[in-house]
Amino acid sequence: MNSLDSNIQEHYDRQGLDEAILAALTAAGKDISHLKPEDLAPIDEFHIRGREATRELASQVQLNSSHKVLDVGSGVGGASRFLASEFGCRVTGLDLSDEYCRVARSLANRLGLDSLVSHLQGSALDMPFEDNSFDIVWTQHATMNIADKPKLYSEIARVLQPNGYFAMYDVLAGPVSPLYYPVPWAPDSSISFLTTPDKLCELLNASGLRIMGWRDTSEIGREWFKEVAAKMQQQGESPKLGFHILLGPDFRLMAQNQVLNLNENRIVLIECVAQKPA
């Protein structure tokens, strides 16, 4: 593993994460011996707008039980488990973090989804899969840590079957710079590599993928943050289960900067679906 990958893995790894999540679930009144997917919703999908954004992206690719899906940058496996439980498809998660993969496997097992969902530790720049292996390649808020974007999208195109879809929901560079740090994906600029919407279009086209759908959801994201803030203020305390478990003591500053970056157009949120030609 190169030094960049090591720094990225260090940013995300939290020792004892599985145990911390189970303790938070118990504190929130959940029966960890009989977990349901909705019990994990507050921590399950580590991206802006959570499960709502996942549902919207899934609706664009018409998932069904015959599909083989690759979730690139799968994190603790929230989207992977949701897609498998909701649509019956087989999902393989790939993530650079050993700890995230371990937690993802544990949670899939607790939900009885281990026959449909698997998680592998590995790099998105050197995927351990044969050509044309997947009907759908999926990624949400994962490419921000990847510097070699041409290699990333060429790998995605390689493992995707002809006529298959690449579905992404990502944080891109906005027209204003620089970013406020730290943010959830990086403590500073050393592991943060955002591309612009125009450049992303170029990269996808160069990899042989045809853009079929494109939506800027930045304003929807801003409204979501307002709703989250209002709900937290009304409750008067932080929830027992949330992204703070994944991000550690700097969570509040990361979240504040995330909102500032979005409100000041330093980042934008893009949902995109592209297809690999036959």
C-alpha span between 103 and 99 (Å, rounded): 6
C-alpha span between 146 and 123 (Å, rounded): 10
Non-local (6+) Cβ contacts of 114 within 8 A are 105, 108
| CATH number of domain containing 94 | 3.40.50.150
**Number of structural domains found in the chain:** 1
What does the block give as tokens for 117? 């969902």
Per-residue pLDDT at 238: 65
Residues of the chain with pLDDT under 50: none
pTM greater than 0.85 (yes/no): yes
Beta-bridged to residue 151, according to DSSP, are none
- Whether 169 and 48 have beta carbons less than 8 Å apart is answered as no
C-alpha span between 253 and 11 (Å, rounded): 15
Per-residue pLDDT at 217: 98
Question: Among 56, 54, 10, which residue's Cα sits nearest to residue 248?
Answer: 10
Q: Is 23 left (phi over 0), alpha (psi -120 to 50) or beta?
A: alpha
Residue 89's domain spans which residues? 3-275
3-state secondary structure at position 32:
coil
Give CA 120 to chain center in angstroms.
15
Question: Among 84, 139, 104, 143, which residue's Cα sits nearest to residue 246?
Answer: 104
